[in-house]
Amino acid sequence: GEILAMTNAPSFDPSNYNEYSDWKRRNRVLTDTYEPGSTIKSIIVSILLEEKLARGNEWVNVENGVYRRRGALIRDTHKFERLTVQGVLEQSSNVGISKLSDRIPEDLFYKYLRDFGFGNKTKIDLSGEAEGNLKKPDTYSMVSKSSMSYGYEIGVTPLQMITAFAALVNGGSLL
């Protein structure tokens, strides 16, 4: 769980600190939040598998890449009629992960994302860390959970994302 190296670009010369703007001096790994997009799908599939809400070889109708959910249009970049859960992850299907996320109760969905470190500081021994943005279930719109399942309506820092993936690959321990 130790960070051995970290870098930001553009960089600055610490010996001439005052010659650089705040934007150049900040540690973007800790401070900048972004919508993680498809990189969060692995986290969502892990929740489904852990809770036995899906099986890797189970088939999902992915609607040939276009699906209307509660007024929102969800699209995939590739047209498939159906994919296994594993295929949903391999092909990065927004339609598939959206449909699968419906199986996760909202409170459990939120709890798992919090447990993976989203919406929390990692407590790294560096100043300026952002918490990111994780909506609470009582603020979800009709499509929030679906959107979050493929990486929208959630804000994470690069450090939070790498910490979550470290937990994913090391058996579930958030370091």
Distance, C-alpha 172 to centroid of its chain: 15
Distance CA 127, CA 85 (A): 40
For the chain, the straight-line distance linking the first and the last C-alpha, in angstroms and rounded, comes to 5
Q: How far is CA 93 from CA 9, 46, 57, 126, 153, in A?
A: 31, 15, 15, 36, 17
Considering 15, 21, 38, 146, which one is annotated as catalytic? Answer: 38
Q: How far is CA 159 from CA 1, 77, 98, 132, 164, in A?
A: 12, 28, 25, 10, 9
Q: Is 15 a catalytic residue?
A: no
Q: Which residues are catalytic?
A: 38
